[in-house]
Structures are given as C-alpha cells and as structure tokens.
Amino acid sequence: MPYKIMIAEDDEDIAELIALYLENDDFQVVQAQNGKEALERFEQMNIDLLIVDLMMPEINGYETIRKIREVSQIPILILSAKSMNQDKVLGLGIGADMYMTKPFDPLELVAQVKAMIRRSYRFSNLGQEPRSFFLKRGDLVYDPEKMCVKKAGKEISLTAYELKILVAMMKAPGRVFTRLQLYQVISRDFCQADEDTIMVHISRIRSKIEEDPSKPKYIKTVRGLGYRFDDEAA
C-alpha cells in the first residue's frame, strides 16, 4: 500500500507541482488549502507524512503542527518562504522534523520525503539487537520491539528523529557525538545551517527525559565538541 502524504499549502500551483512529483513516485497525495482543512482531513484519514506551509489562512502552519503533535508523531516537513534561522528553529521547536525553504527543487523535496518515510517507518530494521533486548540507562529503558523509550516505567512521547538520536546516544554512553555525527543519524546530508536542527532536537529530548533540562544529568554538552550521554546518571 502506498504511503499517504498530505500537502497543506494554500498556493494551488505549488501544491499541484508537489503532488505531481510525489504521485510520479507512487505516493498517494491528499491536499488541503489551509490549516483548518488539513486538521479535518487528518482526523478522517491515515496520513503517513505531512508537508505544511507556515503562512496559511484560517489556521496557520505553526498551529496546525501543534495540534497534530498533540495526537500523532508522524513525520512533518515544513516548506516555507520564511527563511530566517529563527523561523527554522521555531518550526522545529514546535514539532516539525525537517524544514525546507521556497523556492525549492521538487526532486530534492521528493528525496527528502522518501528519506523521512524510510527513517520513520523502517527504524526497526536499523537495529542489530534481538527484538527482546531492552536497553537500560538509569531510569530510561528502550524497547526495540515497541520502538519506544520509557522513563520510570512511563512511555515518553518522542518523534521518530528524537527517538533515533536518543537511542544512538544511549547505545554509546560516554561517547562524544559531534553535531555532524548526530545529524547523520537522521540524514545522510549535512550543511552548516543544519546544526540548528540538532540543537533543537537535543533541547526537545532534554525537556522530555531530564528532571531539570537546564541541569541535564543524561545528555551533557561538551563545549566546542558536541554532546555526550552520561552513563553515570544510572
């Protein structure tokens, strides 16, 4: 069954262009012209990935993402003309997994969609451990069969990218990961601007696993180098 992609975009020409390229790669496409319509269709259908513009009528992209993140962890890609770093940080901070700016290359967009689908829905194929293996670090437990992390027995709500980053670090306690290395956990491509992506993901992970994110006991910052998962937290 083909993956179902929703395009929330009020510019019909752009939406049709994206749909044309996605359908050419055998994706099933659902279109919405504003955030209100996107949320209604999201409730009615099983959507596998969302491509969303930020500047839409009725309900904007930011609010659309917030509402979807309340109930789902599907991959979300922002496609926006807003190209400032603070826009990207804000978009990722409210729950998006990737941020692309307009004008854009449709082939690059499709490649990014394929990569997000592959990483989000085939994550279990990447692990080498038996399905019954539980990875424990302090009060954090990773269950590869359910692909979830629990803290003190309670499941933590993580996006697919947050899960991949956290599990990679849990598997190598004490190792210092550079931002490049962490970005390569979720993507094969890297550019300088994408350092912001990792900073936002780390911040969001800390807010979910740390008692006090300002004084993290698990994910420590190694100045000038990157981040380290501290096994001494156990």
188 falls in which pLDDT band (50, 70, 90)? low
Strand 226-229 and strand 219-222: the pairing is antiparallel
4-121 shares its CATH topology with 124-233:
no
pLDDT in tens, 85-97: 888 999 999 999 9
4-121 to CATH, choices 1.20.970.10, 3.40.50.1820, 3.55.40.20, 3.40.50.2300: 3.40.50.2300
Q: Which stretch of 69-78, 186-195, 197-206, 223-232 has the lowest confidence by average pLDDT?
A: 186-195
3-state secondary structure the chain: CCCEEEEECCCHHHHHHHHHHHHHCCCEEEEECCHHHHHHHHHHCCCCEEEECCCCCCCCHHHHHHHHHCCCCCCEEEEECCCCHHHHHHHHHCCCCEEEECCCCHHHHHHHHHHHHHHHHCHHHCCCCCCCCCEEECCEEEECCCCEEEECCEECCCCHHHHHHHHHHHCCCCCEECHHHHHHHHCCCCCHHHHHHHHHHHHHHHHHHCCCCCCCCCEEEECCCEEEECHHHC
Averaged over 52-58, what is the pLDDT? 93
Question: What integer best gives the mean pLDDT of the chain?
Answer: 86
**What backbone torsions phi and psi does residue 136 show, to the nearest 5 degrees?**
-115, 130
Per-residue pLDDT band at 172 (split at 50, 70, 90):
confident
What's the pLDDT band for 152 if we cut at 50, 70, 90? confident
- What is the structure's pLDDT at 189? 57
> Would you state the torsion angle of the CA atoms of residues 150, 156, 157, 159, taken in this order, to the nearest 10 degrees?
-60
For residue 231, pLDDT over 80 is answered with no
Using a cut of 0.95, tell me whether the model's pTM lies above it: no
**Mean pLDDT for the stretch of residues 175-180:** 89
Any idea where the domains of the chain sit in the sequence? 4-121, 124-233
pLDDT at residue 66, as a whole number: 92
> Mean of the pLDDT values across residues 143-161?
87
Is the pLDDT score of 125 beyond 50? Answer: no
Q: What is the pLDDT of residue 233?
A: 53
Fold of 124-233: Arc Repressor Mutant, subunit A (1.10.10)
**pLDDT reported for residue 196:** 78
Q: Which of 84-98, 103-117, 124-138 has the lowest mean pLDDT?
A: 124-138
pLDDT grade, residue 232 (50/70/90)? Answer: low
Q: Which one has a higher pLDDT value, 125 or 66?
A: 66
